[in-house]
Amino acid sequence: MGAATVGVLLQHAGAAEPGAEGAAGPAAQAQQVSAASATRLAERLAPRLGDAYGGAFYDGDERRLVVNVVGDDEDAKARVRKAGAVPRSVRNSADTLGAATRTLAGRADVPGTAWATDPRTNQILVTADRTVTGKKWGRLEATVASLGTGVARIEKSAGEFKLFASGGDAIFGGGARCSLGFNVTAEDGSPGFLTAGHCGVAAQQWSEDPNGAPIGTVQAATFPGDGDFALVTYDDPAAAAPGVVDTGDGQTTQIVRAADAAVGLEVARMGSTTGLREGVVTGLNATVNYPEGTVTGLIQTDVCAEPGDSGGSLFTRDGSAIGLTSGGSGDCTAGGETFFQPVTTALAAVGAEITAGDG
């Protein structure tokens, strides 16, 4: 995770944020925008602000973009106001937080840890699961302390970070059970689907039943490393590959586009073990240190998941494909953190397009 990691981070906020200018001041002129428009606005502002940029988040109640500005840089604040956003004074720049994530990657890549940028607190949130104890905990604490005061904080998770593949139903391969993410059209025009990369490296062929005939063959898989995604093409070139998510009880959600996540975005997840679950995006460009290896560039959410849900679809109710289930901690009884592979990144890597509509 480099400086670009914290280039655009949006967070819904309920009340007025400390340091943000009140409604009676220049903030009253801020534009009301959607979360998607706020993402684009932040992308335009970040390079203009340079070293003064400290990330951004979306105030969902006011429908305004709040932009973190380092110190009392009045020129930068003026640029933010002119663009229609609300400036907020913070301590840490995006470059500072990006450097902190690189330090964590180099010194604290301990299995059972994860980190992502939290623009609300202008810090790196480091999460340690219950396996991080003793010398591992000491190493993590020492690394966070070395970043300086107020740059990062540690939170303990009651669960254990793990991949969500298991034996059971849904799609099967190599003794593992995973979930189909989204149907796609591969670069050569053949029908296929996306699933988790750790599923794609576990088996080359996948079936619909535990002992059934294969229906698809893995064409590309990434895990661990820069993502957790796999492209599987259907063995039958005439296979029906509808652009929908089956949400249970005979209901479906049509998928009409692939879209990037924004922190605070309300999302739903479908998986073969726990079915339909809902929550919000809590972090972007997350790094997760699984026992099997480190994965970067993930989406962090508070949506629960369990073994067998790996590869399942993360989407919005209006039909945007957002992510593929990777792993996390906890379960759907106790809760916990869950991480997802961004769909847009996976599609770009394998040269596929999301199958839209219900065809």
The DSSP H or E segment spanning 38 is helix 35-49
By DSSP bridging, strand 64-70 and strand 86-90 are parallel
Name the token pair of 205: 């062929």
d(CA 153, CA 156): 10
Catalytic residue (choose from 310, 320, 326, 329): 310
Could you give the 3-state DSSP secondary structure of residue 62? coil
Q: Which of 118, 129, 198, 272 is catalytic?
A: 198
Contacts 24+ apart (CB under 8 A), 275-280: 275/247, 275/248, 276/247, 276/248, 277/303, 277/304, 277/305, 277/332, 278/303, 279/303, 279/304, 280/12
- Cα separation, 183 vs 231, whole angstroms: 10
Over the range 81-117, which residues count as b (16 or more CB within 10 Å of their CB) and which as e? Answer: bebbbbbbbbbbbbbbbbbbbebbbeebebbbbbbbb
Annotated catalytic residue 310: yes
CA–CA gap between residue 20 and residue 197 (Å, rounded)? 41
Chain centre distance of CA 189: 28
Q: Which helix (H) or strand (E) holds 160?
A: none
209 vs 213: CA distance, rounded Å: 8
Q: Which of 328, 279, 331 is nearest to 302 (CA)?
A: 279
Q: Which of 228, 309, 320, 326 is catalytic?
A: 228
Active site residue 157: no
Q: Could you list the active site residues?
A: 198, 228, 310
